[in-house]
Amino acid sequence: MIHTASSSDRIFDTARAGAPCWRGALCAGAFALAITAPASQAWAQSSTAPAPDSANLDVARSVAVSGREAFNAGDYETALSLFRKAYELYPAPTVVLYEARTLEKMGQLLEAVDAYSRTTRTAVPTGAPAQFAEAIAAARSEGEALRARIPALVVEVRGVSSADPRLSVSLNGRTLSHEQLTRAQNLNPGTYRVVGTMGGERGTTTDVTLVPGQTRRVVLNMTPEPSDPLATEAVVSAPVGAEPPSSPRRGPPTLAYVAGGVGVAGIGAGVVAGILANKKYDVAENDCANRICIQGSEGSSALDAFRTLRMVSSVSYGVGAAGIAAGVVIWLTASDETEAGQVGTIEPWGNANTAGIRGTF
């Protein structure tokens, strides 16, 4: 189907990558117009390439419109085929720009970068539409941004020299050369299988998944175990710059549980002592008229008991808080290198004014 559009329909701005087009038919017509108007005049003024005939221009316009409609619908495989066909008929930078954008949508980032580069190298005849220059500028900007997102894979071989003629390393069935083993490989996002073999006698395999913007390292350990000359060690796959895996941490030391138990017991004792102190205070308040307690009376005894229980409650709360805090600290800072059998000690302490716990860990 051939779409036509007037100059008032030129609303498609190729310099705005990925800008939404809310009226698909109108945008498609403007896109076709951008790749062809005023094509005959532009090619006539160019001394570097022959001018295409009008039949090719009409077909290119129709194919480009269909490609734009497929792109908007998310049918990127169809769009890619149509854009490439349109470019063969009329090599406009607006068309190859959309080829690059389609490849990027499909996850073929390496091919998309190449298409963006071809867009910037497309010859623009004198008098070409302004959209051509805008497409080239957009391709340059989008291509640079995409290059930073291309994932890479570093394959490191241990145990043998990467130049050893017996060594063979393949990536998804493609054999890597010695030079490729010495540098990062730019790849499209996806899952890759890395296989390393030594003279066909022993080998190791691992799978690694690459995502945009990530560089990963795969380590192939080709050193055999001393007890088995044909054995291989497991392959390690980790992001570049990651620290080597550490040995598993031991569980929290017993001392952490002891400190926590002391803390819980202290809090509980503080609560009980506080309740008893309040009861004694009520007895003293009822028995001592005008808050004056007669020595030896029930009110006087209750008042003495209140003061003692209040002090016990305060000390218990302090010991409880300190015990819980110490347990948490010991739990979080337990060292992996703590020797087995090491024993710590912990005990509460306090007086009428302050309280806490002390010990060795």
- Say yes or no to pLDDT of 98 above 90: yes
Whether residues 141 and 174 fall in one domain: no
Whether residues 14 and 136 fall in one domain: yes
Whether residues 30 and 117 fall in one domain: yes
Structure tokens at 137: 């500028």
Whether residue 245 is contained in a domain is answered as no
Contact yes or no for 103/80 (Cβ under 8 A): yes
Average pLDDT over residues 64-92: 93
Q: What is the DSSP string of 270-317?
A: HHHHHHHHHHHHHHHHHHSGGG-PPTTSHHHHHHHHHHHHHHHHHHHH
- Residue 356 DSSP SS3: strand
Cα gap 230→224, rounded to integer Å: 6
Containing structural domain, residue 182: 152-239
Whether residues 162 and 180 fall in one domain: yes
Whether residues 286 and 209 fall in one domain: no
Whether residue 208 is contained in a domain is answered as yes
What's the domain count of the chain? 3
Which pLDDT belongs to residue 252? 59
Which pLDDT belongs to residue 191? 94
Average pLDDT over residues 182-210: 88
- Say yes or no to pLDDT of 28 above 60: no
Spatial CA neighbour of 52 closest among 68, 63, 36? 36
pLDDT digits (tens, 9 = 90+) for 294-342: 777 787 787 788 788 788 778 777 777 877 777 777 767 654 444 444 4
Q: Please indicate whether residue 118 or residue 334 has the higher confidence score (pLDDT).
A: 118
pTM exceeding the 0.75 threshold for the entire prediction: no
Local confidence band at 2 (pLDDT 50, 70, 90 cut-offs): very low
Whether residues 297 and 235 fall in one domain: no
- Say yes or no to pLDDT of 103 above 80: yes
Whether residue 2 is contained in a domain is answered as no
Which pLDDT belongs to residue 77? 95
Local confidence band at 23 (pLDDT 50, 70, 90 cut-offs): very low
Whether residue 128 is contained in a domain is answered as yes
Whether residue 89 is contained in a domain is answered as yes
Whether residue 330 is contained in a domain is answered as yes
Whether residues 44 and 122 fall in one domain: yes
Q: Is 78 exposed, middle or buried (0-12, 13-18, 19+ CB in 10 A)?
A: middle
Range picked from 35-39, 44-48, 136-140, 292-296 for highest mean pLDDT:
136-140
| Counts of helices then strands in the chain (DSSP H, E) | 10, 10
Whether residues 99 and 156 fall in one domain: no
Average pLDDT over residues 31-42: 46
Q: Vertex 195, ends 190 and 197: CA angle to 5°?
A: 170
Q: Please indicate whether residue 298 or residue 141 has the higher confidence score (pLDDT).
A: 141
Average pLDDT over residues 266-277: 80
Which pLDDT belongs to residue 138? 96
- Say yes or no to pLDDT of 80 above 90: yes
DSSP 8-state assignment for residue 50: P
CATH of the domain at 182: 2.60.40
Whether residues 77 and 182 fall in one domain: no
Whether residues 51 and 127 fall in one domain: yes
Whether residues 139 and 11 fall in one domain: yes
Whether residues 143 and 157 fall in one domain: no
Choosing from 115, 147, 179, the residue where a domain stops is 147
Q: Vertex 30, ends 27 and 32: CA angle to 5°?
A: 110
Integer angstrom CA distances of residue 308 from 47, 159, 296, 297, 302: 108, 74, 17, 17, 10
Whether residue 113 is contained in a domain is answered as yes
Whether residue 182 is contained in a domain is answered as yes
- Say yes or no to pLDDT of 34 above 90: no
Choosing from 147, 173, 204, the residue where a domain stops is 147
SS3 letters across 180-249: HHCCCEECCCEEEEEEEEECCCEEEEEEEEECCCCEEEEEEECCCECCECCCCCCCEEEECCCCCCCCCC
Choosing from 116, 147, 178, the residue where a domain stops is 147
Main-chain phi, psi angles of 34, to 5 degrees: -65, -30
